[in-house]
């Protein structure tokens, strides 16, 4: 019986069949880029793999990567796999404490250090005796450099095979609550999920249409790792571009001219708000409604965003307001919402032009089984299913049903055609003094649809009713000291409160909107590295003031 192909088998095929095809484009600064063909990518990876094998690490040794997205992340992962190891990627924004935890918990034998903004703070988390290798774009260190190592090392020959059930990678969840967990994924799971993504992309774009993607969401997160890196390694047709920095992002997008572009709701919202800084929402809405002129304006807006050649646009990782999807579709960008998680290799559900609806995340992808438990929890069995949690068999017993379905922790409903609607997170549900559970995510989505709002958190455990705390849009925040603008925001938020409450059940209605004093960010600990809000952190920060807000009785509060 012939074994099923695995991700490295595909890579070796591309190395031979597409040797001179461009695969990776890495910005170097100052407008310069380095291009790597499949042959060049594999030559670098094979040389580093030979170096790693020479170190005598145990089979399956965990080797970590701490880096922003770059071409050498792909090369290092291939080298680790060919050398018989398991990859452990660490979010490039993590604190020294979390870096230390992941390296120690995973038992990492080696660390690759790459592009980073806060290395001076993070390096305290790296044990003095741990072998380290610096990528070409890494901050200045005393570590041996990638280029120097590959220059003096002969490439690993042949086609090293890995077993289907070998662990390819540990993915540490970003930990919105508690300590990060190490999710183990096998080569079989990574390959089957990547094959599914390739089939989906090629179906939507067409078999001959160019596939260009910009890699900028953290590769330590499953969303980018699965849809961009692993899918490109299996598919072999994609040209992957990398972003240099936040300041050059629009330029990087225009260099890549992506035909397939995936993002998260917060960034889709920021793109929209960036447009509104150049043209007020009401004026743009009016222009889009004018025949001929509307189409010209829409094309100009998409070109300004660098998204005018996108044929497949996706949003995942968190719920996205239906109004935001509609806004992009008015511009001609057919934005589709998907659903997946670290534990199923992001391979679960996706919308398509024929299977889409407001508030829904589409239908199961090929090979995915889904059912809803008696408690309303979504249960998934995916080709990309995790092996288990590293060193945590106790968690494995909790998250799998007896027949092997994964308990997602999400609540949902299914339509007869299989389209799935998410209705909240089981762990995020809270009770007010009225005694009924409130699901914050759907209410937050309604709030986030307002052009003045960047993010929302709905809370109110044990209070007479729920309340919403909002972060104002980026183009408004610097000007809130202007009395006229402040009055306008006050009025808009009061009206938003009424509008949203009119759509809610009595026990869900919000008593007030609280305006956060500063934006929530990864740096201040209010967002995870994947930009999910850390509810407990934000709630703890405002806890001393909450009772006073309720006592005052106002509909809008400024902190």
CA distance 438 to 457: 12
- Quote the tokens at residue 460: 């109110």
The residue whose two tokens read 């901050």 is 139
The domains of the chain, with CATH numbers, are 7-21+36-205 (3.40.50.980), 236-405 (3.40.50.12780), 427-558 (3.30.300.30)
CA distance 423 to 400: 21
In which order are the strands placed within the sheet that holds 466-472? 453-459, 466-472, 510-515, 556-558
> How much helix, strand and coil, in percent to the nearest 5, is found in the chain?
40, 25, 40
Higher pLDDT, 537 or 161: 161
Residue 503, Cβ neighbours under 10 Å: how many?
A: 11
Residue 395 has pLDDT above 80, yes or no: yes
Entry field: residues in the chain: 559
Closest CA to 7 of 192, 185, 242, 169: 192
What are the angstrom distances between the C-alpha of 410 and each of 352, 413, 420, 423, 426? 22, 10, 11, 8, 6
Confidence of residue 510 (pLDDT cuts 50, 70, 90): very high
CA distance 429 to 461: 9
In this prediction, residue 432 carries a pLDDT of 84
Residue 464 has pLDDT above 90, yes or no: no
CA distance 120 to 298: 44
pTM: 0.85
The CA-based angle 137-138-143, given to 5 degrees, is 130
Residue 177 has pLDDT above 70, yes or no: no
- Quote the tokens at residue 434: 């009225």
One DSSP character per residue, 52-69 reads HHHTTPPTT-EEEEE-SS
The count of C-alpha atoms lying within 13 angstroms of the C-alpha of 421, restricted to the half-sphere facing its C-beta, is: 12
CA distance 543 to 383: 43
Helices (H) and strands (E) in the chain, counts: 18, 26
CB-count burial class (<10 Å; 0-12, 13-18, 19+) for 96: middle
In this prediction, residue 536 carries a pLDDT of 83
Let me know: does 68 contact 115? Beta carbons within 8 Å. Answer: yes
Q: Could you report the per-residue pLDDT of 307-362, keeping only the tens digit for each? A: 999 999 999 877 788 888 889 999 999 899 999 999 999 999 998 877 778 778 89
Residue 176 has pLDDT above 70, yes or no: no
In this prediction, residue 103 carries a pLDDT of 97
Confidence of residue 276 (pLDDT cuts 50, 70, 90): confident
The residue whose two tokens read 């580093």 is 48
Closest CA to 92 of 29, 137, 150: 137
What are the angstrom distances between the C-alpha of 455 and each of 121, 199, 230? 28, 34, 31
Cα dihedral value 62, 67, 69, 74, nearest 10: -30
Q: Which residues contact 553 (CB under 8 A, 6 or more apart)?
A: none
Residue 200 has pLDDT above 60, yes or no: yes
Secondary structure letter of residue 507 according to DSSP: G
CA distance 459 to 467: 6
Helix axes 265-278, 293-305, angle to 10 degrees: 120
Residue 238 has pLDDT above 90, yes or no: yes
3-class DSSP string for 365-384: CCCCEEEECCCCEEEEECCC
Q: Could you report the per-residue pLDDT of 59-99, keeping only the tens digit for each? A: 999 999 999 999 999 999 999 999 999 999 999 989 899 99
Residue 175 has pLDDT above 60, yes or no: no
- Quote the tokens at residue 504: 């809610």
Residue 269 has pLDDT above 80, yes or no: yes
How distant is the alpha carbon of residue 494 from its chain centre? 32
Q: Is 462 left (phi over 0), alpha (psi -120 to 50) or beta?
A: left
Closest CA to 160 of 76, 78, 98, 225: 78
Let me know: does 202 contact 196? Beta carbons within 8 Å. Answer: no
Mean predicted confidence (pLDDT) in 493-518: 91
Lowest mean pLDDT among 237-251, 433-447, 490-504: 433-447
Residue 16 has pLDDT above 70, yes or no: yes
DSSP strand pairing (437-438 vs 430-431): antiparallel
- Quote the tokens at residue 58: 């145990």
In this prediction, residue 256 carries a pLDDT of 94
Mean predicted confidence (pLDDT) in 541-549: 87
Confidence of residue 244 (pLDDT cuts 50, 70, 90): very high
CA distance 106 to 2: 33
Report, in angstroms and rounded to the nearest whole number, the Rg of the chain calculated over CA atoms: 24
Residue 451 has pLDDT above 60, yes or no: yes
Residue 486, Cβ neighbours under 10 Å: how many?
A: 15
């Amino acid at each position: 019986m012939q074994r099923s192909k695995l991700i490295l088998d595909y890579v070796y095929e591309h190395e031979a069949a597409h040797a001179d095809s461009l695969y990776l484009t890495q910005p170097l600064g100052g407008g310069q880029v380095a291009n790597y063909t499949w042959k060049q990518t594999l030559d670098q990876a094979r040389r580093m793999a030979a170096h790693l094998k020479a170190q005598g690490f145990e089979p399956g040794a965990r080797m970590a990567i701490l880096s922003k997205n770059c071409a050498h992340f792909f090369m290092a992962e291939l080298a680790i796999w060919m050398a018989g190891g398991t990859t452990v990627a660490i979010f490039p924004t993590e604190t020294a404490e979390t870096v230390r935890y992941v390296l120690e918990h995973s038992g990492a034998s080696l660390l690759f250090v790459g592009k980073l903004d806060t290395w001076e703070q993070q390096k305290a988390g790296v044990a003095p005796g741990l072998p380290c290798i610096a990528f070409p774009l890494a901050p200045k260190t005393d570590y041996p450099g990638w280029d120097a190592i590959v220059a003096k090392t002969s490439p690993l020959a042949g086609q090293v095979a890995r077993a289907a059930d070998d662990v390819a990678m540990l993915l540490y969840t970003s930990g919105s609550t508690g300590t990060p967990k190490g999710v183990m994924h096998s080569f079989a799971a990574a390959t089957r999920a990547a094959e599914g993504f390739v089939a989906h992309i090629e179906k939507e774009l067409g078999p001959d249409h160019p596939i260009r993607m910009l890699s900028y969401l953290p590769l330590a997160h499953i969303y980018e790792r699965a849809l961009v890196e692993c899918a490109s390694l299996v598919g072999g047709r994609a040209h992957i571009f990398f972003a240099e920095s936040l300041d050059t992002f629009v330029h990087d997008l225009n260099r890549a001219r992506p035909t397939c572009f995936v993002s998260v709701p917060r960034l889709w919202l920021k793109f929209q708000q960036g447009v509104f800084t150049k043209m007020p929402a009401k004026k743009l809405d009016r222009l889009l409604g004018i025949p001929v002129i509307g189409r010209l304006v829409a094309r100009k807006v998409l070109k300004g965003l660098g998204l005018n050649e996108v044929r497949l646009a996706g949003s995942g990782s968190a719920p996205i307001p239906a109004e935001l999807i509609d806004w992009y579709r008015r511009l001609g960008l057919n934005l589709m919402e998907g659903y997946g998680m670290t534990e199923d290799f992001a391979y679960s559900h996706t919308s398509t032009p024929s299977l889409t609806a407001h508030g829904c995340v589409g239908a199961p992808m090929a090979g995915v089984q889904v059912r809803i438990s008696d408690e309303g929890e979504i249960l998934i069995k995916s080709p990309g299913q995790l092996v288990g949690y590293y060193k945590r068999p106790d968690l494995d017993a909790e998250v799998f049903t007896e027949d092997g379905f994964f308990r997602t922790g999400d609540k949902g409903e299914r339509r007869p055609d299989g389209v799935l609607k998410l209705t909240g997170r089981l762990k995020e549900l809270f009770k007010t003094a009225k005694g009924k559970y409130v699901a914050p995510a759907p209410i937050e989505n309604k709030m986030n649809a307002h052009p003045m709002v960047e993010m929302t958190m709905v809370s109110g455990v044990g209070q007479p009713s729920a309340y919403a705390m909002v972060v104002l849009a980026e183009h408004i925040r610097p000007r809130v000291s202007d009395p006229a603008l402040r009055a306008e925001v006050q009025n808009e938020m009061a009206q938003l409160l009424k509008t949203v409450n009119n759509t809610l059940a009595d026990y869900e209605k919000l008593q007030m909107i609280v305006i956060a004093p500063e934006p929530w960010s990864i740096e201040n600990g209010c967002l995870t590295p994947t930009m999910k809000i850390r509810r407990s952190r934000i709630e703890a920060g405002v806890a001393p003031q909450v009772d006073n807000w309720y006592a005052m009785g106002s509909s809008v509060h400024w902190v």
